[in-house]
Structure 1
């Protein structure tokens, strides 16, 4: 049985931050490699000139996925209300971009700041959980007003102390209690946190609207020890028909590389990473 999915790749594989003037050249490369979709990582919304990016998408017949970057200044769980406000304002801008570029949702670990991993008292954990719920209810209303959804992504324990796996995220979505709250699963984080990735995908079920993949070491799909058969069985079981998108990062940007702890090149080149990853995913999707 062939998985009826589209194959995508993140702009982070080549560049950070993504700028609109890069769109035509980069999207042309992505389309030439055979991809169906591009996952646009929006670090700075002011760098995304909508007409320029929209024209580049159309010229290369690529679907757009919009994902976010949540550093310490964008934290919906912070004690500092200004940092919460920063996060909400940033998400609003990304929702506008998603809407303008025809994406159905905005994806990312928007419940808290990436890298916020601490041991805190249960009382503080409850406070931060409730802030995440309340702020994401606001986000869901904003998304729904544009006809969009949000795809919330669990992160591994080294990058978040709030949401690490599907069980955590299902609890959060239950507390948000809004139909716009959906799920994005990233294989890299799942390889750390999920004992049974097939079962985790099945638990996510129809709420899963986006999938990101890379190897266990963030490298080219098919070159590591990730349980690809288990992921495929899980996606087949729930009838997933969305995008499966490679997410890894360029070591050329030292700030980004440090943030994701990539201290060496993970492939011969970023183009080779994308080319070989695409070839593997096409075969994987058809069950070869």
Structure 2
């Protein structure tokens, strides 16, 4: 039986930052490749004309998925409340784009800044966890008022010291205790942190509203060591009906490539990466 899923691809595979001028370059290409959705990485909302994106989504028959970027000034566990306010404002802008683009959720590791990986005393770790819970409950209220959910993403140990595993993110969701708190899983991070991908997916269960995939080395799906049978068993077990998106990064933007430690091209071209990955995923889902 085929998996009842759609397929998407992240704008990060091709460009950074995504901006209005990216639309006519990317959207027709993504649609022609055969993707159902474009996962829009919103690094700076000021660079994006929301109405122009909305028109292009309709023109090319693509669904939008919205993911956030969380650096040092967007850190809900920072000691400085002023940093929290900057992050809340950014999240609010992203949520408004979700409404405009008819996207049901906003996704990302919004509990903390990416790259905070430290050995903390237990008391400090608990204080940051509690602060994340408190601030994310407020984010959930913001989302709920717009009829939206948030999808919280665990990151590998080199990118976060707070939420690394499916077990971590479910504990976070349970502590937030809000109907808008849900989960996104990313196969690259799971490949580092999870002993068993199938069990991780089953643990998250119906809280899983989005899945990002790439190979163990962040290359095109189907070209590496990933246990795709385990993914399939997990998704079948939870009756997942959402989107599976290819997320990797272009090596052609130096700042982005350095941030994600991609020092060499992972495919002949980013277009080949996307096409090869999508062809594999469509066969895998049959």
Q: What's the CA shift for 1:73?
A: 1.0
Q: What's the CA shift for 1:274?
A: 0.6
Note the alpha carbon deviations across 1:91-114, whole angstroms, 9 max, x for none. 111001111111000000000000
Q: What's the CA shift for 1:21?
A: 2.0
Could you tell me the TM-score, scaled by structure 2's length? Answer: 0.99
Give the aligned partner of residue 125 of structure 1.
125
Note the alpha carbon deviations across 1:19-49, whole angstroms, 9 max, x for none. 0121122110000000000000000011110
SS at match of 1:90: helix
Preserved contact between residue 221 and residue 281 of structure 1 (Cα < 8 Å): yes
Could you tell me the TM-score, scaled by structure 1's length? Answer: 0.98
Give the aligned partner of residue 3 of structure 1.
3
SS at match of 1:212: strand
Distance 1:47 1:244 in 2: 26
Give the aligned partner of residue 98 of structure 1.
98
SS at match of 1:167: helix
Give the aligned partner of residue 246 of structure 1.
246
Aligned residue pairs, count = 286
Query: Does 2:38 align with 1:30?
Result: no
Once superposed, what is the RMSD of the aligned Cα atoms? 0.6
Give the aligned partner of residue 50 of structure 1.
50
**Runs ≥4 in structure 1, deviation > 2 angstroms?**
none
Preserved contact between residue 188 and residue 216 of structure 1 (Cα < 8 Å): yes
Which 5+ residue runs of structure 2 have no aligned equivalent?
none
Which 5+ residue runs of structure 1 have no aligned equivalent?
none
SS at match of 2:245: strand
Query: Does 2:278 align with 1:267?
Result: no
Preserved contact between residue 154 and residue 166 of structure 1 (Cα < 8 Å): yes
Preserved contact between residue 191 and residue 226 of structure 1 (Cα < 8 Å): yes
